[in-house]
A = this chain, B = another copy of it.
């Protein structure tokens, strides 16, 4: 069950993390979808979407999925991130991230993200898994 809407999350992030990549399109139970409008700062030669862009965008997407479950919490810290780059993402199209939490524990969250170019919604351009250290909050229930 989510405790924040996409709009509430965007308002919260505008305040605490205005320079983040992407915008939340929707959130659901343990998941979130974000879209990133590509401009010059996101490109590497090709032009294609750069690796750091995809990794940073995935990180935001998982943070959004966590916020949707636990509420406004500025202190989630990424502890590790693993990215497989699957194919080139044309720099001429926006990219979309589908994030899904695999575990949301009291101290640790783990999730995965598939990133697609909007020009091809069948073959992901990157797959990311990442872990987050959560601030201690004994009352948070152990979810999936």
Give the B-binding residues of A (Cβ under 8 A): 16-17, 19, 21, 40-41, 43-45, 50-53, 55-56, 59, 74, 77-87, 102-103, 107-108, 110, 112, 114, 122-124, 127, 129, 131, 133, 144
Contact = CB atoms under 8 A, between A and B. Distances in A.
Contacts of A21: 52
A46 to B, nearest CB: 10
A78 B82 contact: no
A85 B80 contact: yes
A78 B87 CA distance: 10
Contact of A84 (B16, B59, B102): B102
Given A82-B80, A102-B127, A53 B51 contact: no
